[in-house]
Amino acid sequence: MAPEAQEVRGGERGVGKDWVFVSDAHLTGRDPKETEAFVEFLNAEKERMGRLVLLGDLFEFLFGFKYSDPGRRAFPFADYLPVLESLQRLHRQGIKIKYFEGNHDFFLHSFFSEQFDMEVEVCAGGDEMSLGGKRSFVAHGDLSNPGHWRHLAFRRVLKNRWTYRLIDFAGERLCRRIARFMSERSYERYHLHPPNKPPEVFRLYAHKKFLEGFEIVILGHSHFPEQITEWVHGRKCLYFNAGDWMTHRSFLRFTPPDRFRLERYVYGT
C-alpha cells in the first residue's frame, strides 16, 4: 500500500539542507493555478533545500533546441517561463539542481545552460548516487517495465538523433503540436483513468536493483507515491516512488544523513 503522505502547508519552514525529489508535474503552462502552485512550492522550500532533483516530465513536453537564435524563431516554451525562471533563481541562490529526463523530456543536456545560464546536471537515463553514504539508484522510471513494448518503441522513435534534428529544424510549430498530442495522452491516462494502486512492476524493478547491490532506489513515472522496505542478503533496502505532482502533489524529502519522507504539498493555505 502507498503510505499516507504528510501534508506540508504553504509557508512552512524548517531547518537543514534537504534534498527534494519531484516527479511528473506535466505542466502545460496553460493553467495559471497549476503553474502558481508549483512556483509557490519552490519558494516555500528554498530556505531548507540544498538540492532539487527533478525526476522527469516536469512539463508536458520539453525539447532542448541545439541553437539559441532569436532571429530565426521565438522561444517555444514561453508558457513555461515562470517555472523555469524560478529554477533559475534557485540556482543563483546556490541550490544544486539535477534533472532526470523522462519520457516527455528530450535533448536537455545543454538547454538550461544555453537558454537560462544556469548549471543543471542532466541525466538522460538512470544514475548512481550516494545518499547518506548508501549506494542509491535514481531514475525517472519509464524503463522499469521491459514488457511495455509499445512505450519502449514509442520512446525509441522520439529519443533518437534523427527526431531531434527534425524537431530542431521545424521549431516552435512542431513543438506545439507534439506538446498538445502528449498532453491529450496524459490527460486520458492519468485523469480519466487514474491508477487505483501502485503498479507492481516498479517494486520488481527496485528488487532487481537491490540484488545488484543498491540499497536505495528512487523512481517516478508511476504517478503513485510509494514506500517499500525490503531486506536483501541482510541489508535493509528502501524503494521510494515520488509519485506525481500532477494529481497527488507528492514529493520525496531526504534529510541527511538518513531520513526519508514522502510528503504532499497543499497549495494556497
Structural domains present in the chain: 6-266 (3.60.21.10)
pLDDT digits (tens, 9 = 90+) for 138-197: 999 988 866 665 655 666 666 667 777 776 676 666 666 766 676 666 656 655 566 677
Kindly state the cell numbers that stand for 212: 545488484
How many Å apart are CA 192 and CA 234, to the nearest integer? 42
pLDDT of residue 4: 46
3-state secondary structure of 262: strand
Strands 18-22 and 62-63, bridge-based pairing: unpaired
pLDDT of residue 177: 72
pLDDT of residue 11: 41
Angle between helices 81-92 and 32-45 (to 10 degrees): 10
Which residues, in sequence order, are CB contacts of 58 under 8 Å at separation 6+? Answer: 22, 25, 26, 27, 83, 99, 102, 105
